[in-house]
Chain A
Amino acid sequence: MEKALRVIQEITRQGIIKAYAIGGGIAATYYIEPLLTYDLDIFFIPAKEGLDVLTPIYDYAREHGFDIQPESILIEGFPVQFIPAYNDIVREAVEKAATLKYHEVEARVVTAEYLAAIALETGRAKDRERVIRLLEEAEIDRAVLRKILKAFGLSEKFKKLEKRINEE
């Protein structure tokens, strides 16, 4: 995983992408109980907006001999999935990411508050479960979370989820 994180750093340093943050199951695992996951999800802001924002990353991967899979790039056997910031909340989550340390490598990671908000917005059963886990296990700053939810019109959705949790 260290090698994969270093490659992502290098892709950013070379300006192939503007910014990145780890999201998905690994970001969740950083804050809560470890989850079964198979990809390292990387949300990124492209260097240039356009239709094919993945091409420069895949070109880099090919040049460096990494195995390209249908959904991910294998960096020394480690599957990395690059996901362009697909809406405003993900974009802001990347811009305001925190820093984690894995052995000697530093990497950007979506904060617990943005992770909860993104999961709430996505809204599948496993995402709702993730919000609940984050609320129970992570050190969530409720004031920050409320601010994010308000900014992205998710306050009502959150109230409904909280109501359901309290009823159970």
Chain B
Amino acid sequence: MKNRAAEEIFRKKRRRRRRLANLPFERKIEIVVELQKMASPIRKDPRHVIWPI
């Protein structure tokens, strides 16, 4: 039997992803840069440049 609470969480996650998928492309690129900044202290790799947008 499936867990209703978990199903509700997954449903909300899917909805959030769809909302993010519909953002303007320019905003999405800003989010990619935010992700790069967040990841840089963890994934230290000189090849990983934070984009100068």
In the complex, the number of residue pairs spanning A and B with C-beta atoms less than 8 Å apart equals 66
Could you tell me if B26 and A38 are in contact, using CB atoms closer than 8 angstroms?
no
Interface size on B, residues (CB 8 A): 21
Determine if A76 is an interface residue (Cβ-Cβ < 8 Å). yes
Could you tell me if A138 and B49 are in contact, using CB atoms closer than 8 angstroms?
no
Contacts of A100 in B (CB 8 A): 25
Bound: A138/B14 CA distance, A: 12
Contacts of B31 in A (CB 8 A): 34
The answer to whether A34 and B32 touch (CB under 8 A), given A100-B25, A136-B14, A137-B21, is yes
Q: What is the size category of the interface that chain A forms with chain B?
A: 20 to 34
CB distance from B31 to the nearest CB of A (A): 4
Could you tell me if A103 and B20 are in contact, using CB atoms closer than 8 angstroms?
no
Contacts of B23 in A (CB 8 A): 34
Contacts of A138 in B (CB 8 A): 21
Determine if A79 is an interface residue (Cβ-Cβ < 8 Å). yes
Contacts of A70 in B (CB 8 A): 47
Interface flags for B13-34 (1: CB within 8 Å of A; 0: not) read 0100110110101101101100
- Of all chain B residues, the one with the shortest Cβ separation from A30 is B25
Interface residues of A (CB under 8 A from B): 1, 25-26, 29-38, 69-71, 74, 76-79, 100-103, 133, 136-138
